Chain A
Amino acid sequence: MVEIYNDYKDHADFLTVYVREAHPTDEWQMKSNVKDDVCYAQPKTLVQRVAIANDFIKRFHYPIAFGIDDINNAANDAYSAWPERFYIIDESGRVAYRGGMGPFHYDPDEVRAWLAARYGAVKHDPPTPASPRPVASLSSRK
């Protein structure tokens, strides 16, 4: 997703909305998260959620604007977003694109196609990696 951001940030705004954990240690933990040392319990407080979000940002130098869903999950509920999902809101404040539910229908290529249809195909060379490749759901795909 960071690549799409880099390609289209001159044309569109991007906002990451950090929602409840998908695979915390006290729920459905994935082996891959253990391997990658991404082991967190489901936050019970906003302070805990903010702390995990900051760990993510620091580990991967994540460049996209960031907002954290409140612990009552208002943004998640409004957008039926969990565990991961894309939307595009147009200039008039209306839903212009609604991505499928992750993980099976989470498709960054559809977001790129929407942006390409409006602004033309853009593809910058990926930067030389200076840090480990992100493993999180937010940035592990394209």
Chain B
Amino acid sequence: MTFWKWTIAVFLVLLLAVFLVLSKMAGSPKDVYGMVRYALPHMHRGTLKIGDDAPDARLVALDGSDHFHIRERTGGRPLVLIFGSYT
């Protein structure tokens, strides 16, 4: 019985530690929920490596109707790709 009490106690302490670290990273305890619920599922390290062929994808122009491919922008000079959003 003592073993299980200690196991549960250690587990709870670890859980609290993880929560505190995540709170520090995310900004507040409330943000921990946001990070775990909405951010972590979409964050992926990916498998692309230096030297791999750059993947292509079709992008939409700002007018919302024209399209172009990333590959159309490569081949001349180095291409810096900047991924991001407004928020």
The judgment on whether A and B are partners is yes
**Does the CB pair A93–B75 fall under 8 Å?**
yes
Does B82 make an interface contact (CB < 8 A)? yes
Knowing A56-B86, A83-B84, say if A67 contacts B64 (CB, 8 Å).
no
Give B19-69 interface residues, CB cut-off 8 Å to A.
Answer: 25, 27, 31, 34-35, 37-39, 42-62, 64, 68
**Does the CB pair A78–B55 fall under 8 Å?**
yes
Cβ distance B32 to chain A, nearest Cβ, rounded Å: 10
Does B74 make an interface contact (CB < 8 A)? yes
Cβ distance B29 to chain A, nearest Cβ, rounded Å: 13
What chain B residues lie within 8 Å of A136 (beta carbons)? 84-87
**Does the CB pair A70–B84 fall under 8 Å?**
no
Does A121 make an interface contact (CB < 8 A)? no
**0 or 1 for each of B1-18: is its CB under 8 Å from A? (1 = yes):** 000000000000000000
**Does the CB pair A87–B54 fall under 8 Å?**
yes
What chain B residues lie within 8 Å of A24 (beta carbons)? 87
Most buried by A among B49, B61, B82: B82
Knowing A13-B76, A57-B62, A68-B60, say if A1 contacts B50 (CB, 8 Å).
no
What chain A residues lie within 8 Å of B80 (beta carbons)? 4-5, 8, 12-15, 86-88, 111, 115
What chain A residues lie within 8 Å of B58 (beta carbons)? 70, 74-75
Q: Residue of A at shortest CB range from B57?
A: A75
**Does the CB pair B38–A19 fall under 8 Å?**
no
Pick 21 A–B contacts, CB within 8 A, sort by A.
A1-B82, A11-B78, A13-B76, A14-B80, A17-B59, A17-B82, A17-B84, A27-B34, A40-B87, A67-B60, A70-B57, A80-B45, A82-B43, A83-B39, A86-B80, A86-B83, A89-B54, A92-B75, A93-B75, A94-B53, A95-B51
A8-B80, A13-B73, A13-B79 known, 20 other contacts, Cβ within 8 Å: A14-B79, A14-B82, A17-B59, A17-B83, A24-B87, A27-B38, A38-B86, A40-B87, A46-B64, A57-B62, A78-B56, A80-B44, A81-B83, A82-B44, A84-B84, A84-B85, A89-B54, A96-B78, A98-B46, A98-B50
